[in-house]
Every structure is written in structure tokens, then in C-alpha cells.
């Protein structure tokens, strides 16, 4: 049936008609809230390139987590900013490391909250790379041992899910093996299976003080030009034991999200990264874009492409909008 008999506008006429035929929905359960935690007390330091996002010390972090929890958010993703860095990133697996203490404190107060921890070395190494540097290059296999130690230390502290973001080959298998050996068979792995080498991480590196001091991350993160390679990466991580796979960043890579959705049955997470947050914030602060509408549109697009979960710095804001019934 064609025009004039068929008229698609009939179902767009009112709010309730539109709601009736809406295909994609965003729920508070879909969201993961990333948080930066640093040493010290009473710290709530705004990140310049990410207005509204802060580095928290553990005491203020707990207040923030309480607010998030009360808004209905179910999961947080923690990034640690240690006070000491060294060549091998040893503070990343210290029993009293910043993340280990933060996880214990959060779990004491909010046992039901899903606590996910970033497993990587870049915030902890003096050179800022995501692995151990040997002869000027990031050494894959040496790094695996560090990652396994970090993951086990997070599990000991009470993390529900560990999220390796380093992009070393074989790390999911190595981490799974280490967790199982240490009797943490119940701890899940959310792997950054498809992580592109992206300029959209710029503001994060300010937030986490994790920019590489020499070179860049092109020898381990993926080339933005590749999508078939994304399938291979995801396939490997699933074979190695990933419970959730992730694509990162979000908006420039929705074709990849869609491809993975069609190819795999595992839960799929997508990370709306710091640069994506910064762009929306900057344009709306200039009065050039409407923040809430842009935010909604980007998140619904990410879900439409096939994401089950979205990691976003806007998580609290979205939870508030959902409570108000904004759609």
C-alpha cells in the first residue's frame, strides 16, 4: 500500500501513539556510571575538559555513589588515580591501593551495587603506557602477568566485574585463569574487546593523568579504519572467556556495534567516552545544542545499534530524566 492509502504520519500524531510504536528504549538498568577516585580526603576536583565530572577521594566518592544508587543506577566503573607511579605500575595491585580500598568501602555500604573495576596499567605507570615497556615497546606477555595480578587484587577487594582496557593479546584468558586459580570463579570479565585508538580519549587522560609520555597507543589499540578486525578481536575475547564484550568509543563506531550485535550473543556494552561527553557539554554550554535532547538522541542511537549496556558520564543525568519520565 502506498500514499495516499498508507500514511506513516498516522502513528506519529500524538505522544502516546509514538510511545506505542517506539522500538528502542533506554532504562536505568542499562547504564554504567564511570567514576575517578584519587588519594586524599574531601577532594571533589572538577576535570576541566569534563564539566560536571570530578575526581573524588574515597569519602566524597561514597557520597557520589550514594546519590547514584538513590537515582536507581545499578553499576559503577571505577578508575584509580594513585599517588605513586613506577615503571611497572605496581601500585595497581597493591592490597591498599586506591581502587582496592575504594571497592571495599563501596561494597561495605552498598553491597548490591555492581562494582566494575578498570584493569589497566596506564594510570599507574610512570611512562603512561598500558603495559610494561621493554626496549621502547610495550611487551605483551610481561604485561599479562601484571594484569592478572591487578584483576585478582580487585576481586579480593570485592569487585563483581573486572574490565581489562589495555588491549594486550591473550589477556582475557590469562585473567580468567588467574581469577579461577584464586577461587574467584564468580567474578565476571567485561573486556574492552574492540577498543579503538581514539582522540576521543583526550579528556579522560587529563582526568586520570594517564597520557603516554612517549609515543602513542597505536601498537595496541585498534586502527579506526578497521571493522573486520573488530570481529576477530571480539571472537578471541569470547573464546578466551569474556562475559561481556565492549566497543569503545560509541558514536563513531555504531557500525561496529551493529556488526557485533548480529554476530554474537554475549551482552554488549558500549562506552560513550570522555571526548563524546566533552563535545556535548561544550556545545550546550555555548548554547549551540540542547544538552538533554542531544544526550537522549546519542544514547538511543547507541541502543538502536545494538548495545545492551552503555557506559556514560551522563549516567546520573539520564537517571534523573528517566525518573521525571522524559522519553
Q: Tell me the catalytic residues.
A: 195, 248
Asked if residue 115 binds ligand PBG (CB under 6 A), the reply is no
By beta-carbon distance, which residue lies closest to ligand PBG? 204
Asked if residue 146 binds ligand PBG (CB under 6 A), the reply is no
- Name the minimum Å distance from CB 126 to ligand PBG: 16
Question: Which of 31, 72, 71, 64 has its CA nearest to residue 45?
Answer: 64
Of the candidates 54, 124, 184, 204, which one interacts with ligand PBG according to CB under 6 A?
A: 204
Q: At what angle do helices 58-70 and 98-109 cross, to 10 degrees?
A: 40
Please tell me whether residue 201 binds ligand PBG under the rule CB under 6 A: yes
Whichever of 204 and 264 has its CB closer to ligand PBG, that residue is 204
Is residue 168 involved in binding ligand PBG (CB under 6 A)?
no
Q: How far apart are CA 278 and CA 272, in angstroms?
A: 10
* 273 near ligand PBG, rule: CB under 6 A: yes
Closest approach, Cβ 201 to ligand PBG, in A, equals 4
Q: For ligand PBG, what does the binding mask look like between residues 63 and 102, x meaning CB under 6 A?
A: ----------------------------------------
Q: Which of 73, 102, 115, 122 binds ligand PBG (CB under 6 A)?
A: 122
Name the nearest CA neighbour of 218 among 196, 190, 247.
196
Please check whether residue 259 is in contact with residue 297, taking contact to mean a CB–CB distance below 8 angstroms: no
Single residue of 30, 118, 160, 240 touching ligand PBG by CB under 6 A: 118
Distance, CA of 39 to CA of 62 (rounded, Å): 13
Provide DSSP, 157-220.
Answer: HT-SEEEE-S--TTHHHHHHHHHHHTT-TT-EEEEEEEEB--GGGHHHHHHHT---SSS-STTT
Q: Rounded to an integer, what distance in angstroms lies between the CA atom of residue 304 and that of residue 33?
A: 20
Q: Is residue 35 close enough to count as binding ligand PBG by CB under 6 A?
A: no
Using CA atoms, how far apart are residues 44 and 38, in angstroms rounded to an integer? Answer: 10
Query: In this complex, which beta carbon is closest to ligand PBG, that of residue 66 or of residue 205?
Result: 205
CB count within 10 Å of CB 12 equals: 10
Taking a C-beta distance cutoff of 8 angstroms, is the pair 193, 243 a contact? Answer: no
In the complex, the smallest distance separating the C-beta of residue 14 from ligand PBG, rounded to whole angstroms, is: 38
Q: Tell me which residues touch ligand PBG (CB under 6 A).
A: 118, 120, 122, 130, 165, 201, 204-205, 210, 273-274
Amino acid at each position: 500500500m502506498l500514499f495516499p492509502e498508507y500514511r506513516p504520519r498516522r502513528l506519529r500524531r500524538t505522544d502516546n501513539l509514538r510511545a506505542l510504536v517506539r522500538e528502542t528504549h533506554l532504562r536505568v538498568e542499562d547504564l554504567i556510571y564511570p567514576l575517578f577516585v584519587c588519594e586524599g580526603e574531601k577532594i571533589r576536583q572538577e576535570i576541566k575538559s569534563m564539566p560536571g565530572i570530578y575526581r573524588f577521594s574515597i569519602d566524597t566518592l561514597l557520597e557520589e555513589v550514594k546519590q547514584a544508587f538513590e537515582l536507581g543506577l545499578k553499576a559503577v566503573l571505577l578508575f584509580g588515580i594513585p599517588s605513586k607511579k613506577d615503571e611497572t605500575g605496581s601500585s595497581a595491585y597493591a592490597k591498599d591501593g586506591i581502587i582496592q580500598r575504594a571497592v571495599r568501602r563501596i561494597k561495605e555500604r552498598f553491597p548490591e551495587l555492581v562494582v566494575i573495576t578498570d584493569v589497566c596499567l596506564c594510570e599507574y605507570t610512570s611512562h603512561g603506557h598500558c603495559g610494561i615497556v621493554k626496549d621502547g615497546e610495550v611487551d605483551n606477555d610481561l604485561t599479562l602477568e601484571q594484569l592478572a595480578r591487578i584483576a585478582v587484587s580487585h576481586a579480593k577487594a570485592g569487585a563483581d566485574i573486572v574490565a581489562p582496557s589495555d588491549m594486550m593479546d591473550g589477556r582475557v584468558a590469562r585473567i580468567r585463569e588467574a581469577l579461577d586459580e584464586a577461587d574467584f570463579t564468580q567474578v565476571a570479565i567485561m573486556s574492552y574487546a574492540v577498543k579503538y585508538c581514539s582522540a576521543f580519549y583526550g579528556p579522560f587522560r587529563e582526568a586520570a593523568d594517564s597520557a603516554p609520555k612517549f609515543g602513542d597507543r597505536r601498537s595496541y589499540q585498534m586502527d579506526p579504519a578497521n571493522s573486520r578486525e573488530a570481529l576477530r578481536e571480539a571472537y578471541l575475547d569470547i573464546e578466551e572467556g569474556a562475559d561481556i564484550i565492549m566497543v569503545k568509543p560509541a558514536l563513531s563506531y555504531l557500525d561496529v556495534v551493529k556488526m557485533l550485535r548480529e554476530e554474537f550473543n554475549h551482552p554488549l556494552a558500549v562506552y560513550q567516552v570522555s571526548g563524546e561527553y566533552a563535545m556535548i557539554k561544550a556545545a550546550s554550554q555555548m548554547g549551540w545544542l540542547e544538552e538533554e535532547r542531544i544526550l537522549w538522541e546519542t544514547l538511543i542511537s547507541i541502543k538502536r545499534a545494538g548495545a545492551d549496556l552503555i557506559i556514560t558520564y551522563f549516567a546520573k543525568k539520564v537517571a534523573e530524566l528517566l525518573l521525571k519520565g522524559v522519553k
